[in-house]
Structure 1
């Protein structure tokens, strides 16, 4: 085999190896991906029962109810068009409250209840760390 053909064969094998690795990585990521749904998406498209997903929206006003065990929290997530009931057993984040943003990771049950395994509370876009907010009021030079 000529050196030119050897280089071409090695280059083709290298490209095939890179493509194969990329396909394997995409396959693994596709199985582990956590999809994001809003309550109106759930109402419109149906509920993926038992599949790990993320549900995002705002905690509906007046919907937070703590169970007597002190650990379980029932609440509703809304996007302004639809509402989805959620239950979470665990310690809620400090920023979790009514009318605040939340992303719940978990799965839907057949009855439409979302069983969250993890809660991520979101702050609003105007959030500023206390140190910066204090300096802003002192110097009046930083814009929010």
Structure 2
């Protein structure tokens, strides 16, 4: 084997090893490379209790429960499902019913999401891309660009 052939073999082996490592890493992370899960995905995937993840969707109308000047519970919904959320703490100023939110926490055995962080959209025109794409695909998009909703 000539010197050039050995060098090409070494480079090819190195590239194949790197490609295999990247393939294994992306395969292992296929379910965790998601900004959030919708209530429908949580119900369909049967997320195990105690697993930490983000839950995103719209705050369901008339679902916010308040106690001692703080929100204690609300529901996050999409078109096909809703998940109850328990939260203790101060919510963002723009948190309200019908608005997009992303909550971070874990699911308890009863199916209630125990949130320790709640994020709300920061102005009238902003919604996380994943939330807006999910709403558009389900036909529930109510804001922003009229061309995106299909209305004149």
**TM bin (shorter chain):** 0.5 to 0.7
Residue 28 of structure 1 and its aligned partner are, at CA, apart by 6.5
1:43–1:30: structure 2 CA closer, same or farther, 3 Å change rule?
Answer: closer
- Name the structure 1 match of 2:60: 60
Please list, as runs of the form range in 1=range in 2, the aligned pairs for 1:30-69 lying within 5 A after superposition. Answer: 30=30, 33-34=33-34, 36-68=36-68
Structure 2: gaps of 5 or more residues: 127-144, 147-152
TM-score (norm 2): 0.65
CA contact (8 A) 2:71 2:91 kept: no
Range that drifts further, 58-67 or 37-46? 37-46
What residue in structure 2 maps to residue 74 of structure 1?
Answer: 73
Cross-structure match for 1:97 = 96
Structure 1 portions without partners, runs of 5+:
129-142
RMSD (Å), alpha carbons: 3.2
Contact between 1:65 and 1:73, CA under 8 Å: does it hold in 2? yes
Aligned to 1:117: 116
> Which of the pair has more CA radius of gyration?
1
Count matched residues: 128
TM-score (norm 1): 0.67
The match for 1:132 is: none
Deviation at 1:121, TM superposition (A): 1.1
- 2:116 partner SS: strand
Partner of 1:127: 125
Matched with 2:134 is none
| Residues 64 and 71, structure 2, Cα contact 8 Å, conserved in 1 | no
